[in-house]
Structure 1
Amino acid sequence: MIPVSVLIVDDQAPFLRAMSAVIEETEGFWVVGRAGSGEEAVVAARALLPDLVLMDVNLPGIDGLEATRRLRARTSAPVVLLLSTYDEDAGARFIAECGAAAYVTKSAFGPDRLREAWTAATN
């Protein structure tokens, strides 16, 4: 398996650490960068060219949905997985609004959900 490069976007340090830990525990995935806002995410994605972006929905400045729209509009756009504390029911609306591949609650995010979302988005 070719390693999947991941950009993590969240404005809260505990969640950045938690998502980083999940990536480090998941074989075939590696963290290439971190960003704390929607604007930083767009800039970092252009520079780092990640395969996957883990995007928090609520961010300072442009939110995660707008940042996702901007990333998805690019040629060779990365796969974007939205994460938030909102319940699963909100996920379908978020995905429809921005074109993300999937939505996972932060409490449910782990290696299995990461692999499932990646596999579903790339097959």
Structure 2
Amino acid sequence: MGEPVDVLIVDDQRPFRTVARTVVGMVGGWRVAAEAETGEQAVEEAARLQPAVVLMDINLPGINGIEATRRLLKVDPAAVVVLLSTYNLDDLPGDAGECGAVAYINKEDLTPARLRALRPVEQAG
């Protein structure tokens, strides 16, 4: 097996970060590299760690997840950013589709299978 897929979890609520950490841990070859509570922290951690995948909540204190995604991808364009929220797809902010994230997953639908589908096999190692 190759290098593990490092994941950065970004959410201002500890209970959801705990759930996301558990889900990531259920994906073989994936590991949580770090967690962040704000958009600003997410950008800093991404620059420092260069995680392969970033699970980014939309509603964050400070800059929101959409703006954080834009900034993060300027620092680390190879990151695969997935927006997370409790919004229905039709209720996402209008600029969510233009920030560079590769997907949106409702928090209720975050599963190991959904995560596995995010990374091409050749990149996952």
What's the TM-score once normalised by structure 1's chain length?
A: 0.89
Per-residue deviation, 1:55: 0.2
**What does residue 109 of structure 2 align with?**
108
Query: Which residue pairs with 1:82 in the alignment?
Result: 83
Tell me by how many angstroms 1:99 deviates.
1.0
User: How many residue pairs were aligned?
Assistant: 121
Q: What CA deviation, in whole Å up to 9, does each residue of 1:64-89 have, x standing for no partner? A: 00000011223543110111000133
Determine the C-alpha separation between the residues in 1 that align with 2:48 and 2:18. Answer: 22
Change (3 A) 1:28 1:84: same
Contact in 2 for aligned 1:92/1:103 (Cα 8 Å): no
Percent of aligned pairs sharing the same letter: 49
Q: Where do 5+ consecutive residues of structure 2 fail to align?
A: none
Q: Which residue of 2 aligns with 1:9?
A: 10
CA contact (8 A) 2:85 2:107 kept: yes
Equivalent position amino acid for 2:32 in 1: V
Higher relative contact order (CA 8 A, sep 6+): 2
- 1:1-123 equivalence runs, <5 A: 1-2=1-2, 3-90=4-91, 93=94, 95-119=96-120
C-alpha distance in 2, partners of 1:69/1:89?
A: 21
CA distance 1:91–1:103, change in 2 (3 Å): farther
More helix by share: 1
Runs of 5+ in structure 1 lacking a partner? none
Distance 2:6 2:76 in 1: 17
Judging changes above 3 Å, is the alpha-carbon distance between structure 1 residues 54 and 33 closer, same or farther for their aligned structure 2 residues? Answer: same
The answer as to whether partners of 2:11 and 2:60 remain within 8 angstroms in 1 is: yes
